[in-house]
Amino acid sequence: MNRSLITLIVLGGIVALIAMWAIGFQRSTTGLNEGVGEQWSNVENAYQLRSDKTKNLVEIVKGAADFEKSTLTAVIEARAKATSIQLKVDDLTPEKIAEFEKAQAQLSGSLSRLLVAVEQYPNLKATDAFRDLQAQYEGMENRIGVERRKFNEVARAFNTKIKQMPNNLLAGFFGFSEKGYFKAQEGTENAPDISFK
C-alpha cells in the first residue's frame, strides 16, 4: 500500500469517529433537552392547578359580601399576570425563568395575604369549601416545590452535558443553550423572627 492510501484511510477513520461522536452527542443531548421540556411541563401543570384553585378560592371569598375588595383585586391581578407568562423549552433562559418566578411569587404573596385576611372572617373560615381549598392550597404549594426541584435536577444534567469539554464545541452548532434554574426568593436564607410578646 502506498503512503497516500494509508493517510486517506486514517483521515477517513478520524472523520468517521468525529461524525459518530457528533451524532451521539446530538442524540443524547436531544434526549436530555426533551427531559427538561417534560419536567417544565410538570412545573407548569403544578402552577396551573394552583391558578385554577385560586379562581375557586376567589369566588368563595367573594361570597362574603363585606370582604376586603382590595385583597381580592390583588389576587385576581396577580393570577392574571402569572398565567400570562408562557415559556417553551427553548425559552428557559435564566432571565425568562426569573421573570416567570417573579410573577408566580406575586401570586403566592397575594394568596398568602388573602388567607391571612380570611382569619378575620369566622363565617367564611367555617365553610367546608373554604376549608377544603385551604388544605388543597398547602398540597399544591408542596407539589410546586417538588416539581421545581426536579426541574433544577434535569436542567443541571442538561447544562453539565453541554458545558463539558468537548461537548461545548458542538452545543452551539446544534442549537443547545443553557437552561435557567429556579432560585430561592430573596430573604429566604434568613429565619423568620417569631416572638410571642
Under 8 Å between Cβ of 47 and 144: yes
- Structural domain spans, the chain: 3-171
Q: What is the pLDDT along the chain (197 residues), one digit of tens a residue?
A: 688 888 888 899 999 998 898 888 889 888 998 999 899 888 988 888 888 877 777 776 666 545 556 666 777 777 777 777 787 877 788 888 888 888 888 888 877 777 776 666 666 555 666 677 777 778 888 888 899 999 999 999 999 999 988 888 888 888 898 998 888 766 555 544 544 44
Residue 168 to residue 149: CA distance in whole angstroms: 25
DSSP readout, 30-71? HHHHHHHHHHHHHHHHHHHHHHHHHHHHHHHHHTSTTS-HHH
Q: Residue 151's pLDDT is what?
A: 92
pTM of the shown model:
0.69
Rounded CA-CA distance 36/26 in Å is 15
Domain 3-171 annotated CATH 1.20.1440.20: yes
